[in-house]
Amino acid sequence: MEKSVTAVKVERVEKAIHLIRGERVILDSDLATLYGVTTARLNQQVKRNPERFPVDFTFLLTKKEYDSLMLHNATSKGRGGRRKLPLVFTEHGALMAANVLSSKRAVQASVEVVRAFVRLRQMLFSNAELGRKLNELERKYDEQFKVVFVAIRQLMMPPESKRKQIGFARK
């Protein structure tokens, strides 16, 4: 393996994947970093090959979506920053981007991107499967185990974010 081609960890890719409009996507800037190119170069290749990037492969975020994402990730608006709203890529769009970039690093990183999307899909499936099995067990056993099933369901729920209100409350 060449020195310029660095290993990309699945965990790093998973952290870059966000849920927007019901789709798991990765920001153009994160994908460009993984593929070892500038965001401008990645977006340029997308514009040059529009037939390879239909709306289910990539789409432009709205201002509201972008602001929400930046707020969620606690990203500061320091000097510089973005002048345009970012593109986001679905799993298929990320693969297509690796094809149009055709560098060794992009090809290697695209494998890890696919693995990350597959791992997320498996985690969602296993959680749904666990819920189905829990329902079967709940029907099978009587009322004395109801407390156990309620506790398990509570553990399966994602934790609620406990954010303090900033500023004054209106009355």
Of 75 and 90, more confident: 90
What's the pLDDT tens digit per position in 104-144? 787 777 777 777 777 777 776 777 777 777 777 777 676 66
Q: What is the CA radius of gyration of the chain?
A: 21
At residue 121, the pLDDT reads: 73
CA angle 35, 76, 17 (to 5 degrees): 40
pLDDT for the residue 77? 52
How do residues 62-88 score in pLDDT, each as one tens digit?
Answer: 999 988 887 766 554 555 567 789 999
Question: Which CATH number applies to 10-123?
Answer: 3.10.260
**In Å, what is the CA distance from 156 to each residue of 79, 95, 135, 165?**
41, 32, 13, 27
Per-residue model confidence (pLDDT) at position 162: 61
CA 54, CA 47: separation in Å to the nearest integer?
11
Question: What is the pLDDT of the chain when averaged over all its residues?
Answer: 76
Model pTM score: 0.59
